[in-house]
A and B are shown apart, each in its own frame.
Chain A
Amino acid sequence: MQHGLMALGAGIAVGLAALGTGFAQAKIGAAGMAAIAEKPELTGRAILMVAIPETLVILGFAVAAMILVLL
């Protein structure tokens, strides 16, 4: 039972963080594509901007990994 709850917690940690990242990336990505269409030289900066919210899901992964190590 306890293991099951821990595994569930790990899943929720990654899942919610991924949702947050996806939400942010959707908005930044749309704006980034619009910017690239106008100025292709902004491709690198657009990638950079899109990649910034990924830290959220990485932190979620770190929490999940710590839970799994404790399992």
Chain B
Amino acid sequence: MLETMTRVRIVGRAPRLGEVLQRLYRIRLLQLESAVEEPETPLTPVPGDAGRDERAGELRLLLARLDGLLELADSGRPGVGDGPDVPAGQVTAELDRIAPEIELLVARIDDLQDELAVMPRYLEPLRQLLPLVPDLAALDEQELRALRLDTVALVLDTEDDRLVETLRGALHELVGDRFELVATRVDADAVGCLIVVAHSDAHTVRELLGREQVRHLPLPQRYARLSFHGAVAAMEARLRDLPDELEGAKADLREILEPRSRGWRSASIRLAAELEQLEAVDRLGATARTFVAVGWTPSSQLPLLRRELELAANAEIALDVVEPAPDAAPPVLMRNRTPVRPFEFLVRLLDLPRAGSLDPTMLMALFLPLMVGVMIGDIVYGALLLGLALFARRRFAARSPVIRDLSRVFVAGSLWAIAFGFLFGEALGDLGKHAVGLPALWFYRGGRDAVEPLLLFSLALGAVHVVLGLVLGIWRSALERRGGELLERSGSLLALSGVFGLAGVAADRLPGGALAPAAAAVVVGVVLLVVPGGALGLMMGPLGLIGTLGNVLSYLRLAAVGLASAYLAVVANKLGSLGPIWMGVLVAALFHALNLALAAFSPMIQALRLHYVEFFSKFYEGGGEPFRPFGERSAA
């Protein structure tokens, strides 16, 4: 459910501002809004304080520098106050002192990484080309110059070998026979070429290559004076040395950063807190002797907020509940019971509900694990997933809230999978049935006669889910007095009920007398769907009904994914029964592991989709802004 929000105005004596702000910061119960923009009370901003603005500017700069260095240190984040408490001035002085050294090291690491990435691109074409010109390869730059020869190495990004001949032709047109061109394919889509020309023609050749946008391979400056053979040998040696040199530079950087990062982290948290408090003052209003704060607080926390403020200001403070403006959108805070809370994350993944709308977390907690369970439907798979989820929760929950929430969702899903495993009589597919005679309490999914009941069950679950969504949508539309939407949703529900009735009559599950009321329900429903849309409704109304029917049919994926999982398990067992027993166990284990991995992802994604697309589209209103209490930014 969504917490109801109350808009409050706090008025206190100006000298108490500091204590009040500190208390508000600590209790994190108030989302501050700009008090100066309140229309009913003419307020001025809290009197300017040059020292405060200067301090805020300093803190912003220092925090940006600290964040950059902490990102570079990439160390685990300790809790608040974990590191030594270093004053801001000391942090600044330390940063000024070591920044040049760090900048040099970072630049050196970047250069080495670039060199490591670029070197093979020079080396490989040269290595392959040089055997083609053995005499030339041994000459260094001075010897080449003495012979009045120039060389140009280049790479043609092409799969077509004929391009080399085209280049040869172009060179011939340009300099006649006064050149040598050797080429070899360096990989599937690149040809390396080496051109030797007279020094007097070199400029013309380079112009041609530049015009045709051919990729040159100029040797790095440090190798340019060597012979080609010498350059290749030097580059190979350099390539061998580079990883150690890079590791050394990284170690030097770590040596500087690591001993300081804990202290910096603590300083960063403390300075962020101070900055948040300084910036909060800009949101306050003031009169000659008072300060005024305006904001939102959860209604259930109002007494606590009042008590804390009175303690902070020694009762010299007033807290009033004010009526929000009609167009004001309160922030949204989801507050559900503990077992349901992990599903909030899945709702937020789509969008935060709009303030005052319906929070579907509880319904999601009810249906999503059930759907996951229907699709997996295997005792052993369910038990293994339960074990994995509990392990993940114990091992990683403290480090990652997402893993904590997801593991709880998986615990619920795997319990349903075990329950449906008993109903379908499946344990590692048909192994339980054949090995220990596990009976199916309902029906076995691998049987020939299982398709029909499984399809019907999936459709029934879909019908319940979609109808529930429509009923909730009708309720919301009625509450918010949105007539057109109410008519559309009522029409969808009526027409859908009529279609169910017609299907029941066609399948001999309902008496023939139900035909006329069912047909009438469809007709009336379609009319209700058409009316709000006017002329466009003539097209959109029937399409809406088809869409709703498609939503129900979409739940057939529960059967489809479930059958795929059951048959993959049967295939694993069948393959396992072939050949020697050790090989059979190995093959079966491999296939079951694959099936388990699929079972861990696919049913969750499918169940989520059914909620987001089929269920939520009937009533859900997103677009809420999260509740961000003063003090939360630094806590995060």
Give residues in A with beta carbon < 8 Å to B.
43-45, 47-48, 51-52, 54-55, 57-59, 61-62, 65, 68-69
CA distance A45 to B613 in the complex (A): 10
For residue A43, which residues in chain B have a CB less than 8 angstroms away from its CB? 349
Which residue of the partner chain, among A48, A57, A59, A69, contacts B613 with CB atoms under 8 Å?
A: A48
* Contacts A43-B349, A65-B451 given; does A48 touch B556 at CB 8 Å: no
A54 pairs with B350, CB closer than 8 A: no
A48 pairs with B451, CB closer than 8 A: no
Q: Which residues of chain B in 523-562 are interfacial with respect to chain A, using CB atoms and an 8 Å cutoff?
A: 550, 553-554, 556-557, 559-560
Which residue of the partner chain, among B451, B553, B605, contacts A51 with CB atoms under 8 Å?
A: B605
CA distance A68 to B556 in the complex (A): 15
Give 30 pairs: A residue, B residue, CB < 8 Å, sorted on A: A43-B349, A44-B348, A44-B351, A44-B612, A47-B349, A47-B605, A47-B609, A48-B350, A48-B609, A51-B606, A51-B612, A52-B613, A54-B557, A54-B609, A55-B550, A57-B560, A58-B553, A58-B554, A58-B556, A58-B560, A59-B553, A61-B557, A61-B559, A62-B455, A62-B553, A65-B451, A65-B455, A65-B559, A69-B451, A69-B452
CA distance A26 to B559 in the complex (A): 24
CA distance A44 to B360 in the complex (A): 15
For residue B451, which residues in chain A have a CB less than 8 angstroms away from its CB? 65, 68-69
Give residues in B with beta carbon < 8 Å to A.
348-351, 451-452, 455, 550, 553-554, 556-557, 559-560, 605-606, 608-609, 612-613
For residue B550, which residues in chain A have a CB less than 8 angstroms away from its CB? 55
Which residue of the partner chain, among A45, A55, A68, contacts B350 with CB atoms under 8 Å?
A: A45
For residue A51, which residues in chain B have a CB less than 8 angstroms away from its CB? 605-606, 608-609, 612-613
For residue A57, which residues in chain B have a CB less than 8 angstroms away from its CB? 560
Secondary structure at the A interface, as helix, strand, loop or mixed, is helix
Known: A44-B351, A47-B612. 18 other contacts (CB 8 A): A43-B349, A44-B348, A45-B350, A47-B608, A48-B350, A48-B612, A48-B613, A51-B606, A51-B608, A51-B612, A51-B613, A52-B613, A54-B557, A55-B550, A58-B554, A61-B556, A62-B553, A62-B556
For residue A65, which residues in chain B have a CB less than 8 angstroms away from its CB? 451, 455, 556, 559
Q: How far is the CB of A9 from chain B (nearest CB, A)?
A: 15
CA distance A36 to B194 in the complex (A): 45
3 smallest CB-CB distances across A and B, nearest first, come from A51-B609, A44-B350, A44-B349
CA distance A13 to B546 in the complex (A): 21
* Contacts A44-B350, A44-B351, A51-B613 given; does A58 touch B557 at CB 8 Å: yes
For residue A47, which residues in chain B have a CB less than 8 angstroms away from its CB? 349, 605, 608-609, 612
Secondary structure at the B interface, as helix, strand, loop or mixed, is helix
CA distance A68 to B455 in the complex (A): 12
By beta carbon, the residue of chain A nearest B350 is A44
Q: How far is the CB of B352 from chain A (nearest CB, A)?
A: 10
For residue A55, which residues in chain B have a CB less than 8 angstroms away from its CB? 550, 553-554
CA distance A65 to B554 in the complex (A): 14
Q: How far is the CB of B522 from chain A (nearest CB, A)?
A: 21
CA distance A13 to B455 in the complex (A): 17
For residue B452, which residues in chain A have a CB less than 8 angstroms away from its CB? 69
A61 pairs with B560, CB closer than 8 A: yes
Q: How far is the CB of B305 from chain A (nearest CB, A)?
A: 30
CA distance A55 to B606 in the complex (A): 11
By beta carbon, the residue of chain A nearest B564 is A61
By beta carbon, the residue of chain B nearest A66 is B455
CA distance A43 to B348 in the complex (A): 10
By beta carbon, the residue of chain A nearest B560 is A61
By beta carbon, the residue of chain B nearest A48 is B612
For residue B609, which residues in chain A have a CB less than 8 angstroms away from its CB? 47-48, 51, 54
For residue B613, which residues in chain A have a CB less than 8 angstroms away from its CB? 48, 51-52
Q: How far is the CB of B349 from chain A (nearest CB, A)?
A: 4
For residue B455, which residues in chain A have a CB less than 8 angstroms away from its CB? 62, 65
Q: How far is the CB of A14 from chain B (nearest CB, A)?
A: 9
Q: Which of B452, B559, B609 has the most CB of A within 10 A?
A: B609
By beta carbon, the residue of chain A nearest B557 is A58
Q: How far is the CB of B565 from chain A (nearest CB, A)?
A: 14
Q: How far is the CB of A47 from chain B (nearest CB, A)?
A: 6
For residue A45, which residues in chain B have a CB less than 8 angstroms away from its CB? 350-351
Q: How far is the CB of B255 from chain A (nearest CB, A)?
A: 34
By beta carbon, the residue of chain B nearest A68 is B451
CA distance A10 to B550 in the complex (A): 20
CA distance A52 to B606 in the complex (A): 11
CA distance A58 to B557 in the complex (A): 6
CA distance A69 to B351 in the complex (A): 41
By beta carbon, the residue of chain A nearest B555 is A58
By beta carbon, the residue of chain B nearest A59 is B553
Q: How far is the CB of B529 from chain A (nearest CB, A)?
A: 20
For residue B612, which residues in chain A have a CB less than 8 angstroms away from its CB? 44, 47-48, 51
By beta carbon, the residue of chain A nearest B550 is A55
CA distance A59 to B451 in the complex (A): 15
For residue B348, which residues in chain A have a CB less than 8 angstroms away from its CB? 44
Q: How far is the CB of A2 from chain B (nearest CB, A)?
A: 17
By beta carbon, the residue of chain B nearest A62 is B556
For residue A54, which residues in chain B have a CB less than 8 angstroms away from its CB? 554, 557, 609
By beta carbon, the residue of chain B nearest A60 is B560
For residue B349, which residues in chain A have a CB less than 8 angstroms away from its CB? 43-44, 47
For residue A59, which residues in chain B have a CB less than 8 angstroms away from its CB? 553
CA distance A21 to B205 in the complex (A): 53
CA distance A46 to B464 in the complex (A): 26
For residue A44, which residues in chain B have a CB less than 8 angstroms away from its CB? 348-351, 612
CA distance A65 to B451 in the complex (A): 7
Q: How far is the CB of A13 from chain B (nearest CB, A)?
A: 12
Q: How far is the CB of B623 from chain A (nearest CB, A)?
A: 12
By beta carbon, the residue of chain B nearest A14 is B560
For residue B557, which residues in chain A have a CB less than 8 angstroms away from its CB? 54, 58, 61
By beta carbon, the residue of chain B nearest A71 is B448
For residue B350, which residues in chain A have a CB less than 8 angstroms away from its CB? 44-45, 48
Q: Which of A52, A55, A57 has the most CB of B within 10 A?
A: A55
Q: How far is the CB of A31 from chain B (nearest CB, A)?
A: 17
Q: How far is the CB of B245 from chain A (nearest CB, A)?
A: 33
CA distance A44 to B556 in the complex (A): 22
For residue A61, which residues in chain B have a CB less than 8 angstroms away from its CB? 556-557, 559-560
Q: How far is the CB of A36 from chain B (nearest CB, A)?
A: 12
Q: How far is the CB of A22 from chain B (nearest CB, A)?
A: 15
Q: How far is the CB of A26 from chain B (nearest CB, A)?
A: 16
By beta carbon, the residue of chain A nearest B616 is A48
